[in-house]
Structure 1
Amino acid sequence: MILIKRLFVLIGIFFLGFLPPLTAQNSVSFEEAKSFYPYAKVLKNDSIIWGYLSVPENWEKEDTNTIKIGVTVLKSRENKEDVPAVVFIQGGPGASGVSNIWSWRLHPLRKTHDIVLFDVRGTGFSKPRLCPNLGEEFLKILAKNQSEVEDEKQKVNAALACKQELIRKGIDTDAYHSGSVAKDLHALMSNLGYKGWSVYGVSYGTYMAQVYASIYPEDVTSLVLDSSIADIKAYYTENTSNYMNSLNKVFDACKNDPNCNQQYPNLEETYYEVINEMENNPITVPVSKNFIEGESFTFNSEDFKVAIQQALYNKQLVEVIPLLIHQFKDKNKDALGNLVTAFSSLLMMDYGVYYCVSCNETLPNNELSNFELNVSKYDKLHGGLAFYKSDFKVCDKWNINKPDSLFKNFDLDPLKEENFPVLIFSGEYDPITPDTNGEKVAERFNTAHNIPGSTYGHVPGFTGIGKSVATSFIKNPNQKPDVMAFKKVVKMEIVKDITVNKGVAKMGNSLNEMNLIFLAPLVIAISVMLVFILVYSFKIFRKKYNNLSDNLVRGLSILSSTLGLICLIGLVGALLKVTEHNYFILAFGLPQNYAYLFTLSIVFLVLVILTALVFLIRIKKISNRSIVFSVIFSNILLATYMIYWGIFPF
């Protein structure tokens, strides 16, 4: 009997030796949830699945936490069963994928495909989020007037405080990297019932997409890499040359445009002059307390360089770079204050995830000495971008006492053996994943097509042309795409001849917010003015008033009301027209062909004051004073709004 028991034990040991170890993979599941945007009416009647994918925090350990990945599935418009799917991988690392629902909801691909959006572990709607307020801390640091060294010191301290908080909460910071995301995606595909899908990665998401495709090639039917990372080992080290190569294209474009060169002569030299000037004389600008508690932001030379670098991401911002450089040169504080919004949006990522991923797999593969060697090629730049250089110091401290074996170095060479088709977008002015990356990445694959995004910056695949090319490719991946598609796009037009006015941006923001409580008095005032013009113009024409005071004050009221409405309608029309072309212009003012509106606004203000004085002086001789007072008050109210916005050019 004892021998039989021992035999069964030996058989059990033998077979168990060949069984896969028990892991937390058994806890993987998908559970539907309520809308992540419950107040968005446009999404309520749409065919959308919201939910959470539960996965192990560390796929390599049996005893690990369970985390939740926020997922949104935009169902195909065809509403059929078993339609193909596209999964979107956002960049950063640390940006939300689900928040891109507004770009994907009406994407032409949705006609035939389900669109799967997910928040990379630790970001957006995923649970837990890793240090979601760290970006705000960085903005406060950037806002201060202090040295690069002090900025770096405070940034390191903020990042390490984030890590300590994560450790206190029991979060495994070593489990956040592209390999884990790849396993999350594989589990998500299975739990949503897809047998394969097209993978669409942007920016850092292109690296995650390549890691995923190398680990689970059978999941991928086609691959789209928009603004791709070619070599993770050069992602930081070539940061400065990538930036300057893109910026030099702007300098050349302006030099070769006679009108631009006339208005912004020696643009390249001016750029370096501003750097020199701002090293000694930074510019402090007023900002809304919604962005900075102290209601001020100090631009130093490092902030200036980052501002120009960020402008290279977007075609419309590229077009205003010469104007932007000159606004820094002229120290236009009102216009530069509007840039803080751009800084705040840059820092809206989950920086806890950013540093977990960067310190696990990116910075360990980049050498600070190589970064500095690259910087040394640009003496006049006075150093590279400190915003990125400081990440080396952060990760040095973040990874103290961490064994080298935990650093991730994914092998992408096997991708050459795979046969799934690949589409690559690369933007001409992209400063972070330059257009030269396109051809380099294409060489990694067996079947790849590089689409140069002429005149565009980062992520050209989300332009009208890019969406069209991506849709055609994903629908028919074996058909050669139109590699010259972006040659048909409207060429870059550098913005010139702008009348600078601090109030345009504020007026545009007020109207765009559609705050009824704020705008209701203005609407009432406009109505009163319009009715007064119609009624009393007719009465004066019919000579209903014999008294000079009545005719004078009513005539002035009609004139001021008419001019005020012309100014308001003209400004709103100008805002709408400029928005169609390049809404970033509004941060500075309006094109010179609208300059007359600012002159008319001054005339309107003078007439309002004159009308009010006449009314007060001749008040006893005026009939129906309450009616006249109401229209004068309405004019004063309109003028008050214009003063609040800052429209009057004084």
Structure 2
Amino acid sequence: MRYLLLCCLSLTVLQLTAQKVYTPAIETCGCNFEVDSSFVRNFPEKFRSDLTFSHRVDSSIKMICGYLKVPENRKDRRSRMIRLPFIILKSKNPGRHNDPLLFTSGGPGNSSLGWVNGISRSNIINDRDCIAFEQRGTKFAIPYLRDLVLDSVMREAYRRNLPKDSMWIHGIKLYKQRLLRKGIDLKGYNSDETVADIADLLKVMKIDSVNLIGGSYSGGLMMAVAQKIPSKVRSAILDSPLPMFSPIDEDEPRHFMEALHELSERVNKDSAGERYKNLEQQFHQYFLSINNKTFGIDYQDTLLKKTIPVQYNKNELLEIIVGAMLDFNQLKDVPYMITEMIRGNHRPFIYPKIDRILTKFPSPDGMRMSVYCADQAAYHDQRIIQQLYKLYPYLEGFRINDVWKEVCDCWDVPPLNAETKKPFYSPVPVFIGDGIMDPACSPLYMQQLKHYLPNAQTFLFLDRSHGVGGKTFATLVEAFINNPYQRLESQDPRVVAY
């Protein structure tokens, strides 16, 4: 018995010494953040204006900016420290509440800092401070997990009409090698670490109560914060959330088809119904008919200074449609877009996409790949994904996301803590909104979350897609944050309690 006790104590000591012992700290700075200099050196000069964050906050609002300094990998006691930017907008109200609103963006991989421009004009700033927190590995964090090699490889693939999937994997391998050569520990980039970052930020700022706001991926991230540090969370606001427990690749093709069905039903009923009649059925028939076809377009290549033939297939067309459905401003154009594609008029849609691939930098950030592989791909069931292709044969071979199993096999990061992936019950009051035509995070996710959150209020936006936003959403959020337990009513007939 004594021997067993000594073994257990020895194991505990080993586990503790493997953890990074640190004290989170804040380093104040100016509010015009710049991208990590190690990345800027390799970025083309003409695009560098996009690498500086300049706020548009009224000068009457006091801003406090800085970096949170935390370990890159808390599980490695030798881990280096990284720097994560934040911006605090101070309420001018001397009687402001002591529970600020904290935002971090979705993606995963999007920058969070631009949020301050919009929230500075919200009524919320009248009563409480607002904090934008940049996640580790994203655009203005140091380090920034980005390299341009995948963009270069894919340009080569399109210019020479090489196999896209195998070239993508080749580019991923080079991408990883370059990040590792910079000393980046990819195992430190997942949602568990980001939740710990937010907990450290609250600790070092001495914030005992916080309201959380996030959308899509960060909607699930914010609920993970509520799971890990429930005593700190006063309320949460989620826009089109992706729950941590949901395997997105097993769901998203189905969500896309549900959203397309809803859109098709609408156009059948309105004045344009005859023009776009049976849109969904036509979509099915057309994309099934081009399953194995390759198309070509003449592209004016400014780098080569000549016209080159570029090949594409149904996957690029589907990417264009999904992208338009994700954007509320383009949603109304989707019936026309699909109809024109069926007529064979691809050029107005495919040319801008090819141009973006060959002249811009659309490949994913390393942070997106690390988080997606750890949080999602590690928990996906490939058999279920194959079932989707049998259910929707016209989607066979199409991947809605730019990170998939073979990518993650190359990226090779450990999976997220299994406890974080589990659903959990919580009394925290939560406001959730989603669009009925959301092709990524279906309103189904609202219902699933509501089951575990008895104090949640959910609203369905009948003319919106992914990322609801807008005036009605803002009005409801303002009312909710003032009194999270009071039942809300929508005055907008296009927004209903769900």
- Of residues 387, 394, 413 in structure 2, which corresponds to 1:373? 387
Map of 1:278-317 to 2, 5 A cutoff? Answer: 279-284=292-297, 286=299, 299-317=312-330
Q: Which residue of 2 aligns with 1:474?
A: 481
Per-residue displacement from partner, 1:431-450 (whole Å, max 9, x unpaired)?
11001111111111231111
Q: Which residue of 1 aligns with 2:75?
A: 60
Map of 1:449-528 to 2, 5 A cutoff? Answer: 449-460=457-468, 462-482=469-489, 484=490, 487-488=493-494
Cα distance in 1 between the residues matched to 2:494 and 2:195: 36
Q: CA RMSD of the aligned region, Å? A: 3.5
- Which portions of structure 1, spanning 4 or more consecutive aligned residues, are displaced by more than 6 angstroms? 292-297, 341-347
Q: Which residue of 2 aligns with 1:322?
A: 335
Structure 1 residues 413 and 360, CA, compared in 2 at 3 Å: closer, same or farther? Answer: closer
Structure 1 residues 445 and 289, CA, compared in 2 at 3 Å: closer, same or farther? Answer: farther
Q: Which residue of 2 aligns with 1:620?
A: none
Structure 1 residues 408 and 24, CA, compared in 2 at 3 Å: closer, same or farther? Answer: closer
Contact 2:224 2:244 in 1 (8 A): no
3-state SS of 1:446 partner:
coil
Per-residue displacement from partner, 1:345-365 (whole Å, max 9, x unpaired)?
997575200111122221111
2:204 partner amino acid: N
Q: Which residue of 1 aligns with 2:177?
A: 164
Deviation, 1:230, is: 3.6
Cα distance in 2 between the residues matched to 1:318 and 1:470: 24
Cα distance in 1 between the residues matched to 2:493 and 2:139: 36
The alignment covers a number of residue pairs equal to 464
Cα distance in 2 between the residues matched to 1:252 and 1:155: 37
Cα distance in 1 between the residues matched to 2:308 and 2:492: 42
Deviation, 1:486, is: 5.1
Per-residue displacement from partner, 1:221-273 (whole Å, max 9, x unpaired)?
1011211224645211122111111111112212222x322223442344245
Deviation, 1:479, is: 0.8
- Of residues 53, 72, 90 in structure 2, which corresponds to 1:75? 90
Cα distance in 1 between the residues matched to 2:124 and 2:153: 37
2:417 partner amino acid: K
Task: Say whether residues 1:264 and 2:276 are aligned partners.
Answer: yes
Higher relative contact order (CA 8 A, sep 6+): 2
Structure 1 residues 475 and 426, CA, compared in 2 at 3 Å: closer, same or farther? Answer: same
Deviation, 1:23, is: 5.6
Which is greater in Rg?
Answer: 1
3-state SS of 2:65 partner:
strand
Per-residue displacement from partner, 1:285-338 (whole Å, max 9, x unpaired)?
657859x99898654210111111111112331211011113323425246534
Cα distance in 1 between the residues matched to 2:325 and 2:131: 29
Structure 1 portions without partners, runs of 5+ = 1-12, 491-650
1:240 partner amino acid: P
Q: Which residue of 1 aligns with 2:445?
A: 437
Contact 1:438 1:450 in 2 (8 A): yes
TM-score by length of 2: 0.82
Cα distance in 2 between the residues matched to 1:63 and 1:156: 31
Structure 1 residues 339 and 394, CA, compared in 2 at 3 Å: closer, same or farther? Answer: closer
Contact 2:91 2:129 in 1 (8 A): yes
Cα distance in 2 between the residues matched to 1:234 and 1:346: 30
Task: Say whether residues 1:408 and 2:411 are aligned partners.
Answer: no
Map of 1:600-615 to 2, 5 A cutoff? Answer: none
Task: Say whether residues 1:100 and 2:96 are aligned partners.
Answer: no
1:248 partner amino acid: H
2:137 partner amino acid: G
Structure 1 residues 143 and 349, CA, compared in 2 at 3 Å: closer, same or farther? Answer: closer
Cα distance in 2 between the residues matched to 1:347 and 1:444: 40
Map of 1:513-552 to 2, 5 A cutoff? Answer: none
Deviation, 1:21, is: 6.0
Contact 1:240 1:374 in 2 (8 A): yes
Contact 1:287 1:337 in 2 (8 A): no
Q: Which residue of 2 aligns with 1:394?
A: 407
Task: Say whether residues 1:34 and 2:30 are aligned partners.
Answer: yes
Contact 2:101 2:211 in 1 (8 A): yes
Contact 1:29 1:54 in 2 (8 A): yes
Per-residue displacement from partner, 1:416-456 (whole Å, max 9, x unpaired)?
1x322111112111111001111111111231111112211
- Of residues 64, 88, 93 in structure 1, which corresponds to 2:103? 88
2:272 partner amino acid: C
Q: Which residue of 2 aligns with 1:177?
A: 190
Cα distance in 2 between the residues matched to 1:102 and 1:36: 13
